[in-house]
Amino acid sequence: MAPRSIWNGTISLGTIAVPIKVHSATESKSVRFKQVHEPDGSRIEHKRVAHDGEEVPYDDIVKGYEVSEGEYVVLEKEEVDAAAGERSRLLDIEEFVDATEIDPVVFDRTYYLGSRDADDAYRLLHDALDRTGRAGIARWVFHNREYLVAIRSIGPVLAMHTMRFHDELVDPQELDIPSPQRKPTEREIKMAGTLIDTLHTDFDPEMLTDSYRDHVLDYLDKKRKGKAPKPKPAKPPEASDDLLAALEASLKNS
Amino acid sequence: MPRSLWSGSLSFGLVNVPVRLVSGARDLDLHFRQLREKDLTPIEVQRWCTKEEQQVPYEEIARLFEFDDGDTVVVTDDELESLEPERTRTIEIDAFVDLGDVDPIHFDHPYLLIPAGDDDGTLRAYRLLLDVMGTTDRAALGRFVMRTKEYRAIVRARDGALSLTTMLMHDEVRATKGIDSGTKGKAPKKQLDTALGLIEAMTVEWDPASYEDEYRARLLAVVDQKRKGKTITVPDQVDEPSPVPDLMAALRESLDAARGVSKQNDDELGGLTREELYERAQERDLPGRSSMSKKELIEALS
């Protein structure tokens, strides 16, 4: 079963139109909890309260943008929608780039694009992207914000990654990471390189598994039966004093 | 210094590097506040206990898990973290992989790792990992627990720091099965060839800094207009274009248009002196530019 589509629109490329529907390509599998008050295990509810302590019903709440200390400009939903512009149902492909040139750190969420009505155009765009390894760059307005997106092929379908704008990423240079007084020696660099080679393996998505999730579920089951083990405190490992000795020992162990 | 979200040790073989994790992304969205309509004062969302009718401080919040049969059990964050005590304090690197082999669909949130403290041993070990990984396109695959959730993460060298990106687990990426992928079979060769030409004509070098969030600016403009008491009008939506009856004709038309644009760029370059062309080549760091003739520079730049 395909997941429900969350948005319908049209990719435009030159004069070619490819109507598509958007499906989420990912889903969280984290163990889900509800918030409770610890002493009595009763549920937590969220209340909207004004500064004078009055609880405010949802219908009496408006959304405002703070333009200066304490001064708010209230926008109605339609007014926020005005910012979406007139092309908000379109994914205009502005240009193409080599998909491998995009640093993966910019990718945010991924969606699959399903075909709507124009199967030939969909197939053509898919096959052309698949053949060239290129990604089409477009903008997507969704849930009151604009995303820069990369449209590419994944297997038999078109997929779309939302991307962070360049100013939304922290530049590592801003962090001013101090340099060591004594640089790593040639020998240390060579040994670390060897250690990396030894630990190198072909990537397989199956390596991305969560063992902790099972531990949590197992623990919850034990606790329900009244057999939960006592918590153990965590202790961080010691920093390596002698880098060379640690590298040598690691290589011996690998 | 940015706020630490996690601190512990990056462990690689028997080498341990004390590190702090900071966010690699910043939120630049415009945020709206919830206000009470009658006096436009901000609303605060409070947590209340449903049984005792009182506000609950954050420290007294626990987690309730519901089993399929409706049975429930309450646990605290401390209990959950104690299940894998080592992993809450260690990012353990268990493999190195080629970055290009990892599909970007798995990339989730970006963080940066910075050395914890300025002890020279820590700084040296951090620098060693950075230098060694910086010379290859290999990335380390690690595992750690943060705020009661386990993460798989890619650690690599990026612009002078160790960058850590959390990864979606294998089973968190949906299969493409069931997504409507159009007609069966391949696109006709003639159409595909023309489409490849169109993509070629529209391909540019990836330059993330050339894209700005225009929505943010438009939304700020709306706020500004409203503040000045102007009426905001929602623009009429441009109709979604209909699928074209003749795909081949549309392809040719689009290709001509795209080539026209790149031809214009060529003509523009033709009007520049060699010196001006050289400056542009320098900006783009084109190799071998100093020995190029004017004609070769135009070719390299277009």
Same domain, A20 and A88: yes
Same domain, A159 and A250: no
CB proximity A39 to B under 8 Å: yes
Residue A142 forms part of a structural domain: yes
CB proximity A159 to B under 8 Å: yes
Q: What is the pLDDT of residues A97-148, one digit of tens each?
A: 999 999 999 999 999 999 997 789 999 999 999 999 999 999 999 887 889 9
Same domain, A92 and A143: yes
Name the packing angle between helices B189-201 and A119-132 (round to 10°): 60
Of B85, B81, B208, B91, give the one whose Cα is nearest residue B154: B91
Whether B241 sits inside 8 A of A232 (CB atoms) is no
Q: Which tokens belong to A169?
A: 């990423």
A84, A192, A202 ranked by CB distance to B101: nearest: A202
Task: State in Å, rounded, how far the first CA of chain B is from the last one.
Answer: 43
Residue A153 forms part of a structural domain: yes
Would you list the domain boundaries of chain B?
A: 6-27+82-171, 189-270
Same domain, A109 and A159: yes
Integer Cα distance of B257 and B198 in angstroms: 9
Same domain, A126 and A251: no
Q: What is the pLDDT of residues A168-213, one digit of tens each?
A: 999 999 998 999 999 899 999 999 999 999 999 999 999 999 888 8
Residue A120 forms part of a structural domain: yes
Beta bridge partners of B95: B141
Residue A238 forms part of a structural domain: no
Whether A220 sits inside 8 A of B65 (CB atoms) is yes
CB proximity A6 to B under 8 Å: no
Whether A170 sits inside 8 A of B178 (CB atoms) is no
Residue A149 forms part of a structural domain: yes
CB proximity A226 to B under 8 Å: no
Interface test mutation site (partner A, options B78, B86, B119, B215, max chain A beta carbons within 10 A): B215
- Fold that domain B6-27+82-171 belongs to in CATH: Ku70; Chain: A; Domain 2 (2.40.290)
Total residues found in chain A within this entry: 254
In three-state secondary structure terms, B281 is helix
Same domain, A133 and A90: yes
Q: How many other CB atoms sit within 10 Å of the CB of residue B277?
A: 22
Residues of chain A contacting residue B71, judged by C-beta atoms under 8 Å apart: 224
Evaluate whether B156 touches B139 at the Cβ level (below 8 Å): yes
State the DSSP H helix or E strand holding residue B122, giving kind and residue range, or none if neither: helix B120-134
Chain A neighbours among B 76-105 (CB < 8 Å)?
76, 78-90, 93-105
Residue B74: the pLDDT is: 92
* ipTM at complex level: 0.90
Integer Cα distance of B20 and A236 in angstroms: 13
Residue A107 forms part of a structural domain: yes
Same domain, A131 and A249: no
Domain extent, residue A252, equals 182-200+244-254
Same domain, A157 and A188: no
Same domain, A144 and A189: no
Whether A36 sits inside 8 A of B227 (CB atoms) is no
Q: Where would I find the H helices in A49-185?
A: 77-82, 119-132
Integer Cα distance of B247 and A123 in angstroms: 12
Q: Which tokens belong to B185?
A: 């079979």
Whether A139 sits inside 8 A of B214 (CB atoms) is yes
Same domain, A21 and A108: yes
Whether B35 sits inside 8 A of A64 (CB atoms) is yes
Q: What is the CATH number of the domain that holds A142?
A: 2.40.290.10
Evaluate whether B28 touches B216 at the Cβ level (below 8 Å): yes
Whether A125 sits inside 8 A of B195 (CB atoms) is yes
CB proximity B62 to A under 8 Å: yes
Q: What is the pLDDT of residues B49-102, one digit of tens each?
A: 988 888 999 889 999 999 999 999 999 988 888 888 788 899 999 999 999 999
Q: Give me the amino acid identity at B187.
A: A
DSSP state of B291: G
Integer Cα distance of A9 and A121 in angstroms: 14
Residue A59 forms part of a structural domain: no
Whether B159 sits inside 8 A of A171 (CB atoms) is yes
Residue A232 forms part of a structural domain: no
With bands split at pLDDT 50, 70 and 90, how would you rate the model's confidence at B243?
Answer: confident
Q: What is the pLDDT of residues B146-155, one digit of tens each?
A: 988 899 999 9
Number of folded domains in chain A? 2
Evaluate whether B83 touches A219 at the Cβ level (below 8 Å): yes
Determine the average pLDDT of the residues in A229-236. Answer: 68
Q: What is the pLDDT of residues A30-69, one digit of tens each?
A: 999 999 998 888 999 999 999 999 999 999 999 999 999 9
Task: State in Å, rounded, how far the first CA of chain A is from the last one.
Answer: 44
Rounded (10°) CA dihedral A231, A236, A237, A242? -170
Same domain, A112 and A13: yes
Same domain, A190 and A108: no
What is the b/e burial string over B16-50, where b = at least 16 CB atoms within 10 angstroms of the residue's CB?
A: bbbbbbbbbbeeeebebebbbeeeebebeeebbbe
